[in-house]
């Protein structure tokens, strides 16, 4: 896939900033997303995503919509227990709601091994399973031959889940240290 339609790169218009200190947050702990059919989504996240089913709960009251209910399916990654919650949301009449796709752009899982080769192997095994990525595999930087002009350095491929949530599977993201080793303190605009 060419990095841009015109094959020109635009990374000179991406501004990057050095990050040299930890925040108050260590990591993302959990994400809960709405799905229309837990079984359908569970199969997708198990089959393509490689997540493991932890548990599916009985219906419970919606945490902030009086009269509504939710049913939760907890999925785990290899090193991250119950990191994803698949939720069927029901209105007071019991009808399952349809996710809008407009709360988050995508969410990203880091693959075991965390290297470029692992992402390409994941993309290959996904293709073998009949899954087609909507983007990638690609590297999010401006370096040829893989770079797409984006930022972060991660190698990634993206798939839509059954509710058209965009899910990224990635590895080899820049850390602050190797990012600095590559670019020093030079900002994106100055690297053009």
Partner 1 sequence: MNAHVGQPKIAPAKLQHHVIYVSDLKRSKDFYMKLFDLQFSALNHPDSSAAMRLSNQEMHFFSFGFYHHDICLVKHHKLKMDNNSMLHFTLMARDRDAFDAIRKSAAAMEIPVRDGRLIASAKTSPGQRSYCLQDPDQHWIEIIEEQRP
Closest CB to partner 1 among residues 58, 94: 58
Binders in 151-190 for partner 1, by CB under 8 A: 151-154, 162-163, 165, 169-170, 173-176, 179, 188
**In Å, how far are 13, 103, 160, 173 from 99, measured between CA atoms?**
33, 9, 13, 29
Q: What's the half-sphere exposure (Cβ side, CA atoms, 13 Å) at 120?
A: 6
- Nearest CB to partner 1, comparing residues 18 and 94: 18
* Subset of residues 125 to 144 that bind partner 1, contact rule: CB under 8 A: 125-126, 128-131, 135
Contact of 35 with 55, CB cutoff 8 Å? no
Of these, 95, 101, 143, 181, which contacts partner 1 (CB under 8 A)? 101
Q: How far is 148 from 163, CA to CA, in rounded Å?
A: 26
The interface with partner 1 within residues 22-41 (CB under 8 A) comprises 22-34, 40
Residue 16 is a binding residue for partner 1 (CB under 8 A) = yes
Do 141 and 153 contact (CB within 8 A), yes or no? yes
């Amino acid at each position: 896939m060419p990095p841009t339609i015109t094959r020109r790169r635009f990374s000179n218009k991406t501004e990057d900033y050095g990050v040299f200190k930890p925040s108050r947050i260590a990591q993302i702990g959990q994400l809960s997303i709405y799905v229309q059919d837990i079984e359908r989504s569970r199969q997708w996240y198990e089959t393509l995503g490689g997540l493991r089913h932890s548990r599916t709960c009985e219906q419970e009251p919606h945490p902030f919509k009086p009269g509504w209910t939710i049913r939760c399916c907890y999925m785990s990654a290899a090193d991250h227990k119950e990191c994803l919650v698949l939720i069927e949301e029901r209105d007071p009449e019991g009808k399952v709601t349809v996710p809008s796709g407009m709360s988050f752009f995508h969410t990203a899982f880091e693959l075991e091994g965390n290297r470029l080769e692992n992402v390409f192997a994941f993309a290959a095994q996904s293709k073998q399973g009949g899954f087609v990525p909507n983007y990638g595999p690609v590297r999010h930087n401006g370096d040829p031959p893989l770079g797409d002009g984006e930022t972060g350095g991660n190698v990634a491929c993206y798939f839509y889940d059954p509710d058209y949530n965009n899910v990224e599977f990635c590895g080899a993201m820049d850390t602050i240290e190797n990012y600095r080793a590559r670019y020093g303190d030079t900002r994106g605009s100055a690297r053009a």
